[in-house]
């Protein structure tokens, strides 16, 4: 499965503070998990089995919780049993389709 998630603290009590340190803590948890992952400006996507992916997301959310009194978590999942390598595979198929349309 693929899960794209975004996690951010609120209630820091420090108006105008950036959330980059909290997000960095979450991304560190994801990267140290060893699961395939990709981070962009809005989401981190992680690939693996249900239990292992959600364990990492929980730990990343807990890490962000250290930076505020509340945490916002947004998830989007693509659950496709029996498929792996979709973190890159979906993008590769998209690029192939774009090239085919250019012909």
Average model confidence (pLDDT) across the chain: 92
Give the CATH number of domain 2-102; options: 1.20.1250.20, 3.30.70.930, 3.30.300.20, 3.40.630.10.
3.30.70.930
For the chain, the domains span 2-102
Long-range contacts of 8-11 (CB under 8 A, 24+ apart): 8/64, 8/71, 8/72, 9/64, 9/65, 9/67, 9/68, 9/70, 9/71, 9/72, 10/68, 10/69, 10/70, 10/71, 10/72, 11/68, 11/69, 11/70
* Alpha carbons 45 and 7: distance in angstroms, whole number: 12
- What's the pTM? 0.87
Chain segment 47-83, per-residue pLDDT in tens:
999 999 999 999 999 999 999 889 999 999 999 999 9
């Amino acid at each position: 499965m693929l899960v794209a998630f975004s996690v951010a603290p609120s209630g820091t009590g420090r108006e105008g503070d950036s959330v980059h340190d909290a997000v960095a803590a979450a991304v560190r948890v994801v990267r140290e998990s060893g699961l395939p992952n990709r981070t962009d400006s809005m989401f981190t996507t992680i690939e693996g089995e249900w239990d292992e992916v959600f364990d990492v997301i929980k730990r990343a959310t807990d890490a962000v919780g250290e930076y505020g009194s509340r945490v916002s978590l947004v998830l989007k999942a693509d659950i496709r049993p029996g498929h792996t390598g979709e973190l890159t595979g979906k993008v590769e198929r998209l690029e192939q389709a774009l090239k085919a349309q250019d012909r």
